[in-house]
A and B are shown apart, each in its own frame.
Chain A
Amino acid sequence: MSIPPLTPVLTDNWDAERSWTLDSYAERGGYDALDVAFGMAPDEVVAAVKDAGLRGRGGAGFPTGMKWGFIPQDPSAPGGDKPKYLVVNADESEPGTCKDIPLMMASPHTLVEGVILASYAIRAHHAFIYVRGEVLHVVRRLQRAVQEAYLAGHLGRDIHGSGYDLDLVVHAGAGAYICGEETALLDSLEGRRGQPRLRPPFPAVAGLYASPTVINNVESIASVPAIIRNGADWFASLGTEKSKGFVIYSLSGHVRNPGQYEAPLGITLRELIDLAGGIREGHRLKFWTPGGSSTPLLTEEHLDVPLDYESVGGAGSMLGTRALQIFDETVSVVRCVLRWTEFYKHESCGKCTPCREGTWWLVQTLARLDAGQGEEGDIEKLLDLCDNILGRSFCALGDGATSPITSAIRYFRDEFEAAMHTPTSVSFPPAASTAWSDAAATAGVGA
């Protein structure tokens, strides 16, 4: 039996009538996994997720079951006598990443069911979904799903007669990319400015309220019900040897049919672009991000790299969040890199000097180049600045800021050199890249 290129599991109910409601979810076996889990010891649930090989879907790819296993359960161990917490990172804001938002919009109950299973496994009685504030309707759907789950007895006291209690709070953030970083998220959830913490101690021992805490991405948690329902072997039968299971790949930009494509880990961008109807008519791929703007750019030569954790790492980038932003030959890489850098400058929380000051200098240098007024030595200056930022801050934001720059210079150095004298808007007129540029060209009038 061969496995098809696309394997809808998480996305399978998104086209169902009123898929966000409990009725629709329950009709398809929703919340059945709870009774399976309650028939197991919490450690067995942890073991099942370990055996499945589920790895974090929020970017880092750390094994989820192992993370759960770090929570101290022995009361005499450090942190072991404190309450445990589960926090779902639903602060999706890495540029290009757009998978968790549609998941919570279409099927919030998948996430809620996963939260209950994960909380049971780590023995938490309080869980939080930290969702970014800028997605109002997603917040509504989550609030409703949690309310429905309480009314149906899936949350609250003595869930399904198991004796297990769990409270779940939907918590809306207030606009800060840095809160996607797990320790900044914890500070934010404690009602503070969202700034990363020094590790150790790690959240598994001293997280929320200095208590043992698991922080998992939405898609990681949403993958758990299927694992419990169908078994670890089933999950592990999908994907590659080290990158198991199915994930959502998000295609955006210059492809014919951008959107969400759920497939086993290991599909290639060439296959995905083909499924998405190809690059937009009359154009060709120039560069792309495998997992958001913090993952080094790749080019046409990487079309056949299997999109799993190891292979993308081997190609000099990172799988990240599988945010595949596709740019064709009409796009100036210098313009793109400047815009991403402006983003990191804006979002730097200001805690660490290399990131706070470095991103500022990067923007100044790149802005000059974008305007065609680069100065002798600017490219070297960019690389030197990146070298002084990378690995020199508390969290990965600063590291991420350097990724697009160093990779763009590696693959497109001539474009940076041309920007010494020619503005990018002249070399690459922005009008040629817009979503309506082709319509304008064929119609002969402005769209």
Chain B
Amino acid sequence: MTLSAETLDELRQITARYPQARSGLLPMLHLVQSAEGRITPEGIEACAEILDITPAEVSGVATFYTMYKRRLVGDYHVGVCTNTLCAVMGGDEIFAALKEHLGIGNDETTDDGVVSLEHVECNAACDYAPVVMVNWEFVDNQTPESARRLVDDLRSGAEVRSTRGPAICTWRQAERVLAGFPDDRADEGPAAGPASLAGLRVARERGWEAPAAGGTDAEDESHGAATDTDPDDAAAVAADEQADTSRAESEAKLDEGKHEAQEDDA
């Protein structure tokens, strides 16, 4: 398969979004997947040529990230979260149930090419555990039964809606959005699911609000009293438990306070 002139043109468009063209490589590879159904040798060559780097360099990037697939996935790529919290809440059972129900293993696709299955890491929806993703849309609070129904619906061609998003599009359509070509469906689905609103609901019920601006000269120390509380015996001393902050501060000091410290999301 060769990439169409239109796709090649769009690959070039992506590079123009960035001060330096190579920054476009990740979205370009998403677009290759959208056009080809996977990362193909042709797609790698095309990216390399546009960016004037070697195919080996592109390959090195394509093999680093888990969302890039070397083999075809299904029209609907189902990811079951089996990171600790979801696993404990039932993700392990859901994953086992789907493997059995679909007759495929991890990273495999059904014979009809419609559904592929993968166990995924934490997808930042722990308050909706156990979570299943379909083409990177949330399907929250699943059970083995609901997950089986979900894949049956996907295979029968019935419309399936994300619990916090729109009707689920195909994997290739999803990849196109990730490449930065919007599909105009941002307005579908709710603003937030029930768990996202759990605290807000409690606050509304009890009439709790953040203090208004201006009128807060009350120097409220009621919460301020609890600063350096009980250093937990010997537990506090071990070097491995130094607050990340203090590490950050010492890093900053190392560089004579001139530089910043790391702030991992990790």
Contact = CB atoms under 8 A, between A and B. Distances in A.
A313 B145 contact: no
A339 B87 contact: yes
B150 interface: no
A101 B219 CA distance: 33
A315 B228 CA distance: 10
Contacts of A105: 164, 191-192, 196
A156 interface: no
A6 B199 contact: yes
A15 B133 CA distance: 24
Contacts of B199: 6, 8, 11, 249, 259-263, 275
A95 B122 contact: yes
B230 A400 contact: no
Interface string A67-101: 10010000000000001000001011111111011
Interface string B14-37: 000111101111110110000000
Contact of B17 (A141, A169, A205): A169
A15 B198 CA distance: 11
Contacts of A169: 17-18
A238 interface: yes
Interface string A175-194: 11110111100001111111
Contacts of B157: none
Contacts of B156: none
B180 interface: yes
Contacts of B243: 61, 309-310, 312-313, 318-319
Contact of B262 (A5, A320, A396): A396
Contact of B211 (A59, A147, A238, A262): A238
Contacts of B235: 315-316, 410
Contacts of A252: 85, 126-127, 129
- Determine which residue in A59, A95, A253, A316 has the highest number of CB atoms from chain B within 10 A of its CB, and name it: A316
A134 B137 CA distance: 8
Given A4-B203, A8-B199, A136-B177, A83 B192 contact: no
A199 to B, nearest CB: 7
Classify chain B: how many residues form its interface, as a range: 35 or more
A395 B19 contact: no
Contacts of B92: 430
Contacts of B67: 133-134, 173-175
Contact of B186 (A141, A188, A343): A141
B124 A106 contact: no
B192 A7 contact: no
A208 to B, nearest CB: 8
A379 to B, nearest CB: 16
B223 A191 contact: no
Residue of B92, B244, B247 with highest tally of chain A CB at under 10 A: B244
A349 B229 CA distance: 37
Given A202-B259, A325-B85, A144 B182 contact: yes
Contact of A435 (B143, B187, B189, B204): B143
Residue of B179, B202, B214, B238 most packed against chain A (CB within 10 A): B202
B100 interface: no
Interface in A367-396: 386, 390-391, 395-396
B26 A147 contact: no
A126 B22 CA distance: 16
A436 B143 contact: yes
Contacts of B93: 430-431, 434
A405 to B, nearest CB: 10
Contacts of B126: 95-98, 250, 252-253, 258, 323, 325
B196 A259 contact: yes
B152 interface: no
A97 B84 CA distance: 12
Nearest to A430: B92
Contacts of A94: 122, 265-266
Contacts of B195: 257-260
Interface string A305-330: 11011111111111111010101000
B248 A8 contact: no
Contacts of A347: 121
Contacts of A436: 90, 143
Contacts of B68: 174-175
Interface stretch (B4-12, B58-66, B105-113): B58-66
Interface in A240-286: 240-242, 246, 249-253, 257-267, 275-276
Interface string B174-206: 100111101101110101111111111111101
Contacts of B211: 1, 3, 7, 234, 237-238
Contacts of A135: 123-124, 136, 138
Nearest to A341: B84
Interface in A1-20: 1-9, 11-12, 14-16, 18-20
B251 interface: yes
A258 B262 contact: no
Contacts of B255: 200, 202
Contacts of A98: 124-127
Interface stretch (A43-51, A112-120, A213-221, A415-423): A213-221
26 contacts: A2-B222, A11-B197, A15-B191, A58-B264, A59-B265, A61-B248, A62-B261, A98-B125, A140-B177, A173-B67, A174-B66, A174-B68, A180-B266, A181-B264, A233-B216, A234-B214, A241-B224, A259-B196, A266-B223, A305-B229, A311-B226, A313-B236, A339-B83, A430-B92, A434-B90, A436-B143
When A and B form their complex, which 9 residue pairs have the shortest distance between CB atoms, in order from nearest?
A259-B198, A313-B243, A180-B265, A202-B259, A261-B199, A191-B25, A230-B213, A174-B65, A4-B208
Given A250-B127, A252-B126, A316-B238, 8 more contacts: A60-B261, A67-B261, A174-B29, A242-B227, A259-B198, A263-B199, A306-B226, A346-B121
